Structures are given as structure tokens and as C-alpha cells.
Amino acid sequence: MYFNSIDFLIFLPIVFTIYWLIPARHTRSQNLVLVFASYFFYGWWDWRFLSLILASTVVDYSIGRLLERTDNLFRRRLLLFVSLTVNIGLLGFFKYFNFFVDSFVNAYTFFGYEISARGLDIILPVGISFYTFQTLSYTIDIYRKKLKADKEFLSVCAFVSFFPQLVAGPIERATHLLPQFDVERKFNYDLAVDGMRQIIWGFLKKIVIADNCAVFANMIFNDSANYPGSVLLLGAIFFAFQIYGDFSGYSDIAIGTAKLFGFELKKNFAYPYFSRDISEFWRRWHISLSSWFRDYVYIPLGGSKVGMAKKLRNVFIIFIVSGFWHGANWTFIIWGMLHALYYIPVLLADKNRSNMDIVAQGKLLPSLRELAQMLATFLLVVLAWIFFRAENIQHAIAYISEIMSPSLFSAVKFDNLYQAIGTLGLVFAFMVVEWLGRENVHPLKMVASISSRAARWSIYLLVMACIYFFGSYSTTLEFIYFQF
């Protein structure tokens, strides 16, 4: 079920009403409603894959209970190995089996050998990368003794399948989200109102920004051989705002929806296109995944408490694995390697933690230096997005080569140019609002401080009017990260 569908607009108020009709002291009953709602939400897409979520839940609940009962190091390692094998095995089969088969065949062909091998007709379960990492955090943290195993299977089941963030995050930690299923939850009006604000802002990001940008990003990328470098650069910029509006919009809707049910999810985006270097960008983009890799891969490898050579190795491992997490295509791996190459100069200069504050905090405008830093970082990110969006490596290289050619300075001409200019105007207005609200969790949070109720509602209605009048409704576009 998509957030941007009529189905969800009917589903959400029904679940909300049933959930809050249950007295707060009946926590298990509330959790049961959430589990049924979450399985219905996911099963709306394809009910057959509910068995995968249930299997991961049963395995990790059981292993968590067994880990709790033993201090024997060998047994604990064996149990953790089983959890990793089952979860990563399922993820690897459904997401990467055909990739490895094709890569194996291509490698043999490269050396002059012909072999016959065919992939399987496998459907990628929506959100498998997200809920796999989420449930793995449960067993890993129990193994590390940072978390006690939950005795309530229903709580663990609700944690793994929680529908607001089930298919595209944020990737929650068991230490943060799971305890919230075990305490009484009373309706919090202020939290719910802020949740609605964040949902509205998320819909604006998705329907007005992402879906309008998608029209031109798809048009240009799908026919890139027939456009000059100037148009291709514009297409890459459209895609940069498409993926930002799409993914951060989903996160806002997910976090806001969770607030309606009394839950606090972790922030997943913090205005990443206002970053002054690539290190800051990764502290602000897909925060839940970046921090997951930091805590469960980077730090166990030694993190930054090792020599420079191993630091560089660890950086490359993290970014390559992050790229591979996104999809079974060499383009994602190159995308990850590019970001590693961006990151290395910052690390060598020991500047990777130099921009920890909010840019131009307390000021209306950035300095010229900050503006130049943000622009340079944005252009580097846009360049890498080309590999992320391209069909294959050859497509990406041809695309970038044309941008680097003299045609970059040619006139921008294509069908619906004036509509594209209008979309750029929407993006500019959107970024102005984001800039003004960058010190808040989301820009509409600023509205809460306005004392006049009429003024607050005028702003809400204005945002909803923008969604209605400027939204792209020609087709219902699924969220990009559903494919991951």
C-alpha cells in the first residue's frame, strides 16, 4: 500500500480510530491492532511475502530468548551466526542471486569463455533491506548485551512490522523503538498535531517536488543520447531533487504517522543539501542507514581508532557496502565508491567533523564561503546521483561524458521547457522554506510557535492548496526506495 494512495487515506483513519478506542492499559491489544494493521498494509502489495517478515520475526525472537539464557561465548556466537545467516541469506537470495549469476557469466565471457547460466524469476519483496537490518539490530544488541530480550512475542512482532516505517524506513534500532511497545500509550494531542504537520510536509515533498521533478528526470535520463550536456546536467539536478523529495518525503510521512499512534521514530533527514562537505552530507542523508553501518560495521572494523591506512580501508568498505545495500547493480557500487573518494580528502585533512553545527545558525543568510561550500558539495552529490539513476555503467559514463563536453554550454531546449521552468520555480520556493526551517525537525514545526490560530490554519491550508494545485497526479508514482 502506498502512502500516496486513496487506499492509505482510508486505511489510516480506520486503524487510528480502532487503536485509540482501546484503553491505554491494554498495551497488548493495541500492539495486536498494530500487528494486524501492519500485516494488512504489507500484504496489500503481495500477501505471499508476509511469510518472510514472520520468519525473520520468529527466528530473531527465538534467538534473542536463547541469547538471554546463556553466557557461553561459543553458543552466543553460534546463535548470532544463525541470525545473520537466516536474515542476510533471505536478503541475499531475493535481492542479489541474479546479480551474482549475471556477474559470474559476464566475468567468464570477458576472458573468452562461454557458459550458459540463467537467473531465476525472483520478485524482490518490498522493503526487505529495511526490515532485515531492523530485526538484525535486535539480535546484535542482545548479543552485545546492550538490550535484554523481550519476552513478549507480540511486541517484537510489532517492532519488526510497524507499518509506518516498514517498507522504507527509518531503520529503527531495537533499543529505541522496541521499548515503546511495552509501555502504556495515551493519546497525546500535541504529538499528533505535530505528526499531521510532518505528514502534510512529507506529502508536499513527494507529490509536488519529487513527482514533478520525476517527469523531467525520467524524460532526460531515458533519452539521454539525444540531449546536449546542458540538458543532461539539468536532468541530473531534477533527479537530485526527485530522490530527496521522494525519500525524505516518505520519512516525514512515516515519522508523522508514527506520532499519531504515540511513537517517536528517529530523524532520517536533516536538510542534507545544505551540507558544507561530504562528511556533513552523510550525517544528514538517510541518517538511520548511515548510523547503522557506523555502529554495526565501521566501529567493529576499528572505526577511526586505527591507523590511517585502516581508516581508509574502513571508509571504502562502508561506502561500497552502502552502495551494494541499495541495489544489485554495479552502478550502486560505483556510486558508493565515488562517495568514498569524496570523503577521503576530508578525512586526510582531519576535517570530517568540522561542520557539526547547523549552517548559518541564527542567521538569515549564509556567508559567501558557506554558500560556495554548499554549492560544491551539492554538485559532487549530483554527479554521483547520475550513477545511482543510470541503467548501467556505460549509460552513466556516456551521460557524464556529454556533460563534460562543450555541449554543456549550449542552449537548453526540449519539449515542455516552460513547464520545467515552473517546476524549478517550485523547487526554489521549497528550498527557501527548507532553509528558513532548517533549525527545526521539519519546516512546519515553525508554525507551532505562531500564537494566532487563524494564522496557523492559513499556513496549513496554503500548504494543502499547493499539494492540490501543483501536485503531479498523472500517475501514482511509487516511492523510489520501495525497490531497495
Q: Burial code of 426-450, b = ≥16 C-beta within 10 A, e = fewer?
A: bbeebbeebbebeeeebbbeebeee
For residue 326, indicate whether it is catalytic: yes
Closest C-alpha to 201, from 266, 124, 256: 256
Question: b/e map of 185-206 (b: 16 or more CB within 10 Å)?
Answer: beeeeebbebbebbbbbbbbbb
Residue among 26, 176, 326, 395 flagged as catalytic:
326
Q: Which of 102, 106, 98 is nearest to 123 (CA)?
A: 98
With 0-12 / 13-18 / 19 or more C-beta atoms within 10 angstroms meaning exposed / middle / buried, residue 312 is middle
Task: Provide the CB-side half-sphere exposure for 176 (13 A, CA).
Answer: 13
SS3 track for the chain: CCCCCHHHHHHHHHHHHHHHHCCCCCHHHHHHHHHHHHHHHHHHHHHHHHHHHHHHHHHHHHHHHHHHCCCCHHHHHHHHHHHHHHHHHHHHHHHHHHHHHHHHHHHHHHCCCCCCCCCCCCCCCCCHHHHHHHHHHHHHHHHCCCCCCCCCHHHHHHHHHCHHHCCCCCCCCHHHHHHHHHCCCCCCHHHHHHHHHHHHHHHHHHHHHHHHHHHHHHHHHHCHHHCCHHHHHHHHHHHHHHHHHHHHHHHHHHHHHHHHCCCCCCCCCCCHHHCCCHHHHHHHCCHHHHHHHHHHHHCCCCCCCCCHHHHHHHHHHHHHHHHHHHCCCHHHHHHHHHHHHHHHHHHHCCCCCCCCCCCCCCCCCCCHHHHHHHHHHHHHHHHHHHHHHCCCHHHHHHHHHHHCCHHHHCCCCCCCHHHHHHHHHHHHHHHHHHHHCCCCCCHHHHHHHCCCHHHHHHHHHHHHHHHHHHCCCCCCCCCHHHHC
- From residue 285, alpha-carbon distances to 186, 247, 384 in Å are 32, 10, 14
Question: Which residue numbers are catalytic?
Answer: 326
